[in-house]
Structure 1
Amino acid sequence: MAWSFTPKHTSLTAFAACLIFVCSVSTHTAADHALTAYQVLQGYGFPVGILPKGILGYDLDTSTGKFSAYLNGTCAFSLEGSYKLRYKSTITGVISQNKLRNLKGVSVKVLFLWLDIIEVTRSGDKLDFSVGIASADFDIDNFVESPQCGCGFDCVTAQVEQASKIRVNRFVSSS
């Protein structure tokens, strides 16, 4: 089957417009994959610190906002000794400007219960984290840096505590 074009001005114009659109869409998609998950978050108005360090990759459908972010495994840590957070190896949801909704894979320990964080909304310099029945506001300054799995922001103290747990038996001889 051979392609043939009729020399109609409108057909050629429509074909050229279609070709330009296809080329611009593929360029846009390729550029999106060059961004990290943290950069994508910033593009939607969120600070990088709402995700822990170690995101391996992500998928994002820019037309719907549906996303998935991937860690090497589950991730848990405490923040300032009061809140414990847990991330599953896959985090999903829908992102739009200043709003994350339908979140799955992130939970917070409140008293003795683990509650799923289902929505995060930015309003000015505040982030509102919702667990459905309740929500809490935090200053955005608390999320400038990404916490590290296992130790959060206090990794030096965690390393010292881990080192103090290592016991040396002086009565064991190598001979």
Structure 2
Amino acid sequence: MAVQQSRLTAFLMLLGILMVVLPLAHCDPIHDLLRDNGLPAGLLPKAVKSYTLHENGLLEVFLDRPCLAKYEDRVYFESVVKGNLSYGELVGLEGLSQKELFLWLPVKGIVVDDPSSGVILFDIGVAHKQLSLSLFDDPPDCEPKVHGTQSFRSGILQMDDRKQKGFEDQR
């Protein structure tokens, strides 16, 4: 009886250790891929369901759904985000927009020239924006887009809402 109880105790202790260690050891392959290429894991949200890295460096990331994440500013991820991945950069991006003041601007590229600087560079077409690398340490949660709210790509959304109600743009 004592042998059975000690085995049960040992099993329960092992189970408890595994319950603590396994969540810490879990690494999402896409976030590991970013780290291995000199980029922070938190560039992409937790909502990534799969990705494909082609031989030519084209990275296609598939999310569960389009969504919004918060870093310093709001960022919109379409359900597919594409870009050319090389060490320290993700350029030629499609499917990613960042809110600047009242506008949503497409992010064209993301570059980490010198990780020791603690700075990441975002190319938003009309300008380059420097942000702290620490903002991107952990993958953010991604909220589903809220249809019909002013907080989400307001100009484009208002136009979509009008079209759904039967109004067309005047030319």
SS in 2 for 1:123: coil
Structure 2 residue corresponding to 1:65, chosen from 57, 64, 72: 57
CA distance in 1, matches of 2:110, 2:71: 17
Percent of matched pairs sharing the same residue:
28
Partner of 1:121: 111
Alignment of 1:6-25 (within 5 A): none
TM-score by length of 2: 0.63
TM-score by length of 1: 0.62
Partner of 1:74: 66
Partner of 2:44: 51
1:114-163 CA distance string (max 9 Å, x none): 10001000022211001111011112111111110129xxxxxxxxxxxx
Alignment of 1:93-112 (within 5 A): 93-112=83-102
Flag the structure with larger Rg: 1
Instruction: Detail structure 1 runs of 4+ shifted over 4 Å in the superposition.
Output: none
CA distance in 2, matches of 1:144, 1:79: 10
CA RMSD of aligned residues (A): 1.8
CA distance in 2, matches of 1:117, 1:87: 10
Q: CA deviation at 1:77?
A: 3.0
CA distance in 1, matches of 2:98, 2:69: 10
**Is 2:31 the partner of 1:38?**
yes
| Equivalent residue pairs, number | 115
Partner of 1:168: none
CA distance in 1, matches of 2:90, 2:127: 16
Q: CA deviation at 1:78?
A: 3.2
